[in-house]
């Protein structure tokens, strides 16, 4: 893994981790958090499992 790819992966991990941390800090279920930001609970689940990117995949 080159330095640029490694740095990009670390940034992604930080952002994804912060989403889950925020949700848990607010004591919200995935469904409650999803409703609050107008996405499906499945979207939150997929983001937290790193199966979905945070780019233009979310509208």
> Is the residue at 2 inside a domain?
no
Please write the tens of the pLDDT for every residue from 39-52. Answer: 999 999 998 888 88
Answer whether residue 36 is part of any domain. Answer: yes
Number of domains in the chain: 1
Region 8-13: mean pLDDT is 73
Parent domain of 26: 15-53
In a domain, 37, yes or no: yes
pLDDT of 28 strictly over 70: yes
Decide if pLDDT at 56 tops 70: no
CA atoms in the 13 A half-sphere facing the CB of 21: 6
The predicted structure's pLDDT at residue 15: 75
Is 6 inside any structural domain?
Answer: no
**What's the predicted TM-score (pTM) here?**
0.68
Q: Tell me what percent of the residues of the chain surpass a pLDDT of 90.
A: 44
* Token pair belonging to 41: 């609970």
């Amino acid at each position: 893994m080159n330095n640029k790819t490694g740095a990009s992966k670390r940034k992604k991990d930080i952002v994804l981790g912060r989403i889950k941390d925020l949700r848990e800090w607010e004591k919200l279920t995935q469904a409650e958090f999803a409703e609050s930001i107008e996405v499906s609970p499945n979207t939150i689940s997929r983001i937290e499992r790193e199966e979905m990117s945070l780019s233009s995949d979310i509208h």
